[in-house]
Structure 1
């Protein structure tokens, strides 16, 4: 009988011994735990990236390889339509929070991470987003990635029986690690977690976020090589008059980025009214329609299918043409608006980079045509536009500047980039006070625990020394 008891409790005893070994007992133990969790987040992000690329090669790659224009166009339209309808039918029943993106991350930080980011949601998010982006839906992987990495980090902390405040702190830690793994940009990951998720400075969480981000970036470099995600031709500016053009670009990016949060809900209500006769199948019909239109737009502008980073890289190196970039911007804007209104599954991080780069490239080529003696570089304008649109859309100005420099490795446009980011942020806030992420949150979720950033009301006079004397 004693032997049976020993056998029955063996696995449990082994698990408890493992947990006892991994559970941190000191500050050094906490740091090691955070590094291991960050590395795990990196593995999750790499696996998600691989799944998207595999399905994209299977779906979009097969469609683009068709020699017949009719067959190619039919597949490009049918694939996202079928996937959009399938996910609209399955996700609400199997994993209703799987399409939450950045809004779900912020809800988890404000509430119970292990309840909102439960294994069912994480598995659903992995499968649904991989399928959606692989089929050519014009959204991005960053939002789903931070959901996966934040959920993994919170689950690991809960599995180790760590305190609830530690588990909650794993949400921004996982966010930073996810961004670092996607873009090979650990500093941007930490700042983005501060601006988008936490909203207030927290020394302990910031330190953990930095460690996890570095660990995740190391994992990404190990498996994917660490190459620049968006290589750019070194760009410079030397004419002060060009700053005026950059300022106009910043205003345009801010207006377009601010227009999206106002237009998407209106479009969503329009789709709901249009397809009301389909009854309980309305959501499936919306997914199919949005997917079909996205595919149709992809026939006109194939670079808009899926994430679109190859096209962004082309614009950043000065390639493409003004009309091509303008058509891509219009097609992507329409596709993203419809995909978010339906809603289809995917993130908004990558589309904002695509839209900014295409708008900047179109403006740069136009300026080059109108002012041939001004030596305007379209690649520089694409780079500046990318940061400006990102800032206007997500309202994370510091991360917007940092991500451009970390992702491209180009620091030659610091002043124009900061100018356009500030202008885009101001204009976007005037056009729409809330982002699409903020629209999905309650007031309590926007400021978890009612906390305010202690630096928000700090003045220079409060910290400066005024009693200096000459030696």
Structure 2
């Protein structure tokens, strides 16, 4: 099968599975929410505008204590599933997929995405503070990995399909296909690096997955941005970049706090004795206590319950009706969300970190926008736009993925008019948070990735040629084809040269021998005068020309396990120009690598 056809077919197949996986996962989350949060706890549903649910809204009386019970049992069930069947399914799944790409040859166990789907549906459906991107990313990545293994593809192909599946799942469930494709290549690295090989397969897979997911929705919700189409924001003056710079600084400080709290809580639970499912149970209980504490402290303000669950309802309010929510409520939800996300996922619960990051960044952005609007109303007309930009900037800094995050936020909100401030704030957050990342399995660049070990050597050596390295003025002993073995033995004693080209009377290359080739004759001096160079030489000579690159040279050195190769004229393969040594090739690579490091 031609390469393009192969990748199109495999990517489309991954897109189909990722799309169906997104539908299944979304249904399971909403089913658990309907049964547990709705019927048992009477938890008020408050989702994004286009977040469709096939289940009717439950009209019940909210019970804080039943909510606490649901969260505790949810943590226990999700933790037990991961502990019993797939420990790697606990935590946020995107990091596990990144780790598999870099360190595990792209291999993910078949059971992992299945357990991740069920455990995450329980975590999110019972009110845990987690996101959807981790589970769906692991579903797509797991299928891509298993498909490559079943087809006996190479480790490189398996990694590409894993990343394509990850992007397809994210693009489908967040209704952001373009961002999903770019996310697959960008999220793997903490620096401004991109895994370019995965972009096109991920684009095909993301398009198919998005289409399948959207056609599962009622007609009025199909292809609608997650937060609706009634968001009308504008960027009216370059002077607005100044308050947006203030926003970037505050988002960066909030992002650093988020990462430190998240991994601090995770380390605390890791040190606790006992099985993982009991830790997850305790995490669910603590999450409920924090959320309800905020609820009671705010005089039973239902909006403050956005610190639990997905929290997209608060974001929808910040976008569409920011005047109805106070600055203190936005800040309270953002800070509480930092803690509840750490408790839910850090304790061993299952879910992603993208959703909570969107809520935290959006709430911080909305709070900053409201405050700056009260100070400078002539410049800041739409404080809700700061919530949109805050979403992008916060996650761009925390996840080290600015471009895919910018696109994802614009696709989720349907507002491309804020593209410029989103780029500005996301870039600043990316630079200010360079030392911190929410995904610990990221590596800085392709150079540091075990998946690309050796790529840099090839790139460097392919940029250098034999003519740049071999010593043209070196005295080279050529051996005439009629030279006796006796003379050859004495020549070996007089020169450090190890490989000897054999030539005719016109100095045309006929063959080559090494000192090791002569060694077998040393103990039989009776043939020293009978045998000559023709008897010793190897006529299958592997040569190089000055135009050959050093990667080709090193490949031949390695394949033949020899240390020197003749360099011949490109016009005449029998005209010898010199000898290239393996150690000279290695030395040239080391010099170039040192130059590269000094210029970084």
* TM tier relative to shorter chain: 0.7 to 0.9
Q: Does 1:351 align with 2:356?
A: yes
User: CA offsets per residue over residues 73-125 of structure 1, 9 Å max, x none?
Assistant: 0011111112213333442222111125111101221244674x212212211
* 1:302 paired residue among 305, 316, 323: 305
**Which residue of structure 1 lines up, in the alignment, with residue 19 of structure 2?**
42
Instruction: Measure, in 1, the Cα distance between the counterparts of 2:149 and 2:447.
Output: 22
Residues of 1 paired with 2:448 and 2:67: CA distance? 39
Q: How does 1:366-381 map to 2 (within 5 A)?
A: 366-381=371-386
State the Cα deviation string for residues 220-276 of structure 1 (Å, max 9, x = none): 121122221123611113244432211111111111112222333333444566xx5
Q: Match for residue 214 of structure 2? A: 221
Aligned to 1:324: 329
**Cα 1:59/1:147, change in 2 over 3 Å:** same
Match of 1:396 among 376, 380, 401: 401
Alignment of 1:167-186 (within 5 A): 167-186=158-177
Does 2:71 align with 1:102? no
Q: How do residues 287-298 of structure 1 correspond to structure 2 at under 5 angstroms?
A: 287-298=280-291
| 1:380 Cα deviation from its structure 2 partner | 0.4
Matches within 5 A, 1:198-237: 201=194, 204-224=197-217, 225-231=222-228, 233-237=231-235
**How far 1:395 sits from its partner (Å)?**
0.8
User: Is the 8 Å Cα contact of residues 126 and 144 (structure 1) preserved in structure 2?
Assistant: yes
Please state how far the C-alpha of 1:375 moved relative to its aligned partner.
4.5
Query: Is 1:248 equivalent to 2:246 in the alignment?
Result: yes
The alpha-carbon distance between structure 1 residues 142 and 448, as it changes in their structure 2 partners (threshold 3 A), is same
Instruction: Summarize the alignment of residues 45-60 of structure 1 with structure 2, pairs less than 5 Å apart.
Output: 45-60=22-37
Q: Distance in 1 between matches of 2:126 and 2:315?
A: 19
**Aligned pair in 2 of structure 1 residues 245, 398: CA closer, same or farther (>3 Å)?**
same
Cα 1:352–1:379 change in 2 (3 A) is same
Name the structure 2 match of 1:337: 342
CA deviation string 1:267-300 (max 9, x = no partner): 3444566xx5xx435x444323321232233331
Change (3 A) 1:440 1:339: farther
TM-score, normalising length from structure 2? 0.65
Q: 2:316 maps to what in 1?
A: 313
- Decide whether aligned partners of structure 1 residues 202 and 195 sit closer, same or farther in structure 2, where only a CA change above 3 A counts: closer
Query: Residues 363 and 381 of structure 1 are in contact (CA less than 8 Å); yes or no, is this contact kept in structure 2?
Result: yes
Structure 1 residues 135-146: aligned runs within 5 Å? 135-146=126-137
For residues 214 and 206 of structure 1, the distance between their equivalents in structure 2, rounded to whole angstroms, comes to: 12
Q: Distance in 1 between matches of 2:436 and 2:332?
A: 28
Please report how far the alpha carbon of residue 211 of structure 1 lies from its aligned counterpart in structure 2 after TM superposition. 0.9
CA distance 1:220–1:89, change in 2 (3 Å): closer
List alignment gaps of at least 5 residues for structure 2: 44-57, 296-303, 460-600
TM-score, scaled to structure 1:
0.82
Rg larger for: 2
Structure-1 separation of matches of 2:195 and 2:380: 45
**Change beyond 3 A, Cα 1:450–1:175:** same
CA change 1:264–1:40 in 2 (3 A) is closer
Following TM superposition, by how much is the alpha carbon of 1:441 offset from its aligned partner in structure 2, in angstroms? 7.7
Match of 1:147 in 2: 138
Residue 280 (str. 1) matches residue 271 (str. 2): no
1:447 aligned residue: 449
**Partner in structure 2 of residue 120 of structure 1:** 111
Q: Mean Cα displacement is larger for which, 30-39 or 401-410?
A: 30-39
Give the CA RMSD over aligned residues.
2.9
Q: How many residues align?
A: 422
- How far apart, in 1, do the equivalents of 2:194 and 2:212 lie? 27
**Hey, what's the Cα distance between the residues in 2 that align with 1:340 and 1:265?**
10
Query: Counterparts of 1:164 and 1:447 in 2: how far apart (Å)?
Result: 14
Tell me how far apart the structure 2 counterparts of residues 57 and 445 of structure 1 sit (CA, whole Å).
Answer: 48
1:29–1:371 distance in 2 versus 1, CA, 3 Å:
closer
Aligned partner (choices 61, 65, 68) of residue 74 of structure 1: 65
Match of 1:422 in 2: 427
